[in-house]
Amino acid sequence: MEIILFEPQIPQNTGNLVRTCNVTGATLTLVKPLGFSLNAKHLKRAGLDYWDNTSIQVIDDLEKYLEKTKKPFYFLSSKASKAYTEINFTSDSIIIFGSETSGLPKHFHDRWSDFFHTIPMKTGARCLNLANSACIVLYEALRQTNFIFS
């Protein structure tokens, strides 16, 4: 499994996901520009000592990255209508989340609208915390694949 954060802004969210990816064996991919330094103390504190044993990569262009991959990928957005539970995850699925402040660019939705899903919330709710959202969806993907950790 792979979690992609598109232009993340809050270091604590990324740090928390370092920890989550470590304990699940998922890869964490960060798409530039980042709203923080990878050396930020808040980022390191949230990730604790999990950094060294976590697969983390930083990329410049998400669109090019997705065009080259053969793996199934899914976008998560509060603006989507299909629930994440409708996805049939595989062990190599890529799960993509937008920036905490601006979400995912419209051109991704225009190009890949069938790949957009949401976490259901009550009417009028804006969105869940990024790290929590990623955990919810990642654990559903792991449940569907019988919790096979890499």
Distance CA 28, CA 124 (A): 30
Task: Residue 88: name the closest of 140, 29, 26, 149 by CA.
Answer: 140
Please give the pLDDT value at position 42: 61
Please give the pLDDT value at position 125: 86
Query: How is the chain split among helix, strand and coil, in percent rounded to 5?
Result: 40, 20, 40
Please give the pLDDT value at position 38: 81
Assigned domain for 150 exists: no
Distance CA 149, CA 100 (A): 27
Report how many domains make up the chain: 1
Assigned domain for 135 exists: yes
Please give the pLDDT value at position 41: 67
pTM for the model: 0.94
Mean pLDDT, 10 residues at a time, the chain of 150 residues: 97 91 96 86 63 90 98 96 97 97 96 97 90 98 91
Q: Which residue range is the domain that position 140 belongs to?
A: 2-144
Task: Residue 140: name the closest of 123, 114, 119 by CA.
Answer: 119
Assigned domain for 149 exists: no
* Contact status, residue 73 vs residue 93, Cβ threshold 8 Å: yes
CATH code of the domain containing 48: 3.40.1280.10
Distance CA 130, CA 136 (A): 10
Assigned domain for 82 exists: yes
Please give the pLDDT value at position 52: 78
Tokens of 34: 């980042």
What radius of gyration, in Å, describes the C-alpha atoms of the chain? 14
Assigned domain for 94 exists: yes
41-54, pLDDT tens digit by residue? 666 665 557 777 89
Assigned domain for 99 exists: yes
